[in-house]
Copies of this chain bind each other. A is one copy, B any other.
Amino acid sequence: MPSSRVTQADVARHAGVSRTTVSFVLSGREGMRISGEARQRILGAAQELGYRPNLTAQSLRTRKTYTIGLVSDSVASTHYAGEMIRGALEAALEKDHLLYFAETGDDPAVEEKLLQGMLDRQVDGMIHAAMSTRRSRPAGQSGGHRTVLLNCLDESGEFASVVPDEFAAGEQAVRLLLEAGHRDGIHVVGGHHFTRGKPEGVHAGHERMRGIEAATAAAGVELAGVVECDWSEPEHGYRATRSLLGADPAPTALICCNDRLAFGAYQALRDAGLDIPADLSVVSFDDSELASWLRPALTSIALPHHELGRRAVSLLLSDDLRPAVHRIPMPVRRRESISSPRR
């Protein structure tokens, strides 16, 4: 690739001036008297030959590379987080920055290697992203690199982070059901994601549950039940929903902790001969494509992936990198899965 590159020497030859003159004109530096005519000739020659500045050389002088490193655990391969990357790419492009992108697969040795690789290439800043919101300490953070955490919280209190407002989303899910007239029959499918393999649950689970409990308490309503289960497959939502169908008080509404669980709940309710929303209302979180594909279409509270990505990059390129948690609102996508309870 380098062999085909037009150099400043080529431009100088073409314009019939010295290499130094070309360098001054093309880098826009001051301090040398160059005639308007020579300047025009040089710019004309540069354009004609298709000259492009060598940013690698330039960055040695300016100490800016206009690049950002984005390291994630497994964002690229997680279907619902692609929008996060798209948001980051958009914001970077608007400011003429390019993005190095890499995945660690949650392996600290790989993370260290990737981080070092990006720092060796003099990135102007780093974004550490996580697939699902969690507490995290970026590896190898020393020496005050510009850093923003994306979709994860900072254990050390040193960094700015951008996360979805899961607590408010939990409150919102309850409010949607209360507005429709539900009170005693509200069950939660998923809960904190407490499972044998993950006894501490997941961050989104804790926050959503806190919001759900705050909103029911504020309305003087008691949750009818919470079935804790793994959030990763519809199968778990299917089983959890089957387990609660005989509950007392009888369920009138389900809050599913994500759309996959809601998909499983739909399958279980259909198998039980129950109609959504006439017999049971369902509300969910994430607003993945599944939500609009289900029949009836599922009301879901959206993960603001695109906005998360944009904000992380904007923050990184801003002058304000104080350690603070930036919470992005999760918008409600109202569809057809909620109605008034039968009783």
Contact B67 A77 (CB under 8 A): no
Question: Which of B63, B100, B121, B295 makes the CB contact (< 8 A) with A55?
Answer: B121
Asked if A36 is an interface residue, CB under 8 A from chain B, the answer is no
Q: A98-B121, A121-B67, A293-B233 are in contact. Are A56 and B54 (CB under 8 A)?
A: no
Please encode chain A, from 89 to 119, with 1 for each CB lying within 8 Å of some chain B CB and 0 for all others.
Answer: 1000100101111110000001001101111
Min Cβ gap A7→B in Å is 12
Q: How far is it, in angstroms, between the C-alpha of A113 and the C-alpha of B93 when the chains are bound?
A: 9
Min Cβ gap A211→B in Å is 27
Q: A2-B122, A101-B101 are in contact. Are A56 and B65 (CB under 8 A)?
A: yes
Question: Which of B121, B145, B267 makes the CB contact (< 8 A) with A56?
Answer: B121
Q: How far is it, in angstroms, between the C-alpha of A119 and the C-alpha of B5 when the chains are bound?
A: 9
Question: Which of B2, B74, B77, B123 makes the CB contact (< 8 A) with A63?
Answer: B2
Q: How far is it, in angstroms, between the C-alpha of A89 and the C-alpha of B117 when the chains are bound?
A: 13
Q: How far is it, in angstroms, between the C-alpha of A89 and the C-alpha of B101 when the chains are bound?
A: 8
- Residues from chain B with a CB closer than 8 A to the CB of A145 are 1, 4
Q: A78-B82, A101-B101 are in contact. Are A123 and B60 (CB under 8 A)?
A: no
Please encode chain A, from 67 to 96, with 1 for each CB lying within 8 Å of some chain B CB and 0 for all others.
Answer: 100000010111110110110010001001
Q: A65-B56, A77-B82, A143-B4 are in contact. Are A99 and B100 (CB under 8 A)?
A: yes
Asked if A124 is an interface residue, CB under 8 A from chain B, the answer is yes
- Residues from chain B with a CB closer than 8 A to the CB of A14 are none
- Residues from chain B with a CB closer than 8 A to the CB of A238 are 295
Q: How far is it, in angstroms, between the C-alpha of A55 and the C-alpha of B101 when the chains are bound?
A: 18
Q: How far is it, in angstroms, between the C-alpha of A342 and the C-alpha of B63 when the chains are bound?
A: 72
Contact A98 B122 (CB under 8 A): no
Show 25 A/B contacts (Cβ-Cβ < 8 Å), sorted by A: A2-B122, A3-B144, A4-B145, A52-B120, A53-B120, A55-B121, A56-B56, A56-B60, A56-B65, A56-B121, A56-B122, A76-B76, A77-B85, A82-B82, A86-B103, A93-B110, A98-B100, A98-B114, A98-B117, A100-B101, A234-B293, A235-B293, A238-B295, A260-B293, A267-B295
Known: A98-B102, A100-B101. 15 other contacts (CB 8 A): A1-B144, A4-B144, A52-B116, A54-B122, A55-B120, A76-B85, A79-B80, A79-B82, A89-B102, A93-B110, A98-B114, A99-B101, A101-B101, A267-B295, A270-B270
